[in-house]
Amino acid sequence: MKAWVIVVLVIIAVGLVWGLKRPVTRDAVQAPADAILFKGASCGCCGVYVDYLQRKGYTLDIRNPADMDGVKAQYGVPSSMQSCHTTVIGGYFVEGHMPQEAITKLLAEKPDIKGIALPGMPMGAPGMPGAKNQPWIVYAVNNDGSTTEFMRI
């Protein structure tokens, strides 16, 4: 009986060592993170965007502040880049109806910027009605407030 217990313990130990030495998978690196999403309480498209992010696996802390302009100022979202909601994730702001691939790129590359923005409310973007009728330009908002193209989708 004692030999059987020793064999089981050895198998468990080998399994633990093997599991700890396995490389981190691409999926684990790109797993969605926790985020805070600031939106107006009555905004319908923001609610649809919340559903989109939750379906993609994000855990959201949803807040409905009375002063969205104050939130945007706090995180440094330029007025030319604003949309109806602001998400904060991984130390960055994500402004607007941002597709998941842009968020994934942001979190994987970790650029030295304040955040990214898809300004306005482009047709077909996550949470927005209609069909996509042109490429979306996602902008990086640099630490000095200037903007550059982050990616096209």
**Segments making up each domain of the chain, as ranges:** 28-152
Per-residue pLDDT band for 40 (boundaries 50, 70, 90) equals confident
Contact assessment for residue 91 and residue 106, using Cβ atoms and an 8 Å cutoff: no
pLDDT of 122 > 50? The answer is yes
pTM as predicted: 0.77
pLDDT at position 51, please?
Answer: 92
How far apart are alpha carbons 143 and 148 in whole angstroms?
11
CB neighbours of residue 113 within 10 Å: 21
Q: Which of 39, 141, 55 is nearest to 96 (CA)?
A: 39
The 10s digit of each residue's pLDDT in 96-121 is: 999 999 999 999 999 999 999 999 99
- Listed in sequence order, the residues at least 6 apart from 83 whose beta carbon sits closer than 8 Å to its beta carbon are 95, 96, 97, 117, 118, 119, 120, 121
Radius of gyration of the chain (CA): 21
Per-residue pLDDT band for 39 (boundaries 50, 70, 90) equals very high
Per-residue pLDDT band for 140 (boundaries 50, 70, 90) equals very high
Contact assessment for residue 74 and residue 126, using Cβ atoms and an 8 Å cutoff: no
The CATH number fitting domain 28-152, selected from 3.40.50, 3.40.30, 3.30.450, 3.40.395? 3.40.30
Q: What is the mean pLDDT of residues 24-38?
A: 61
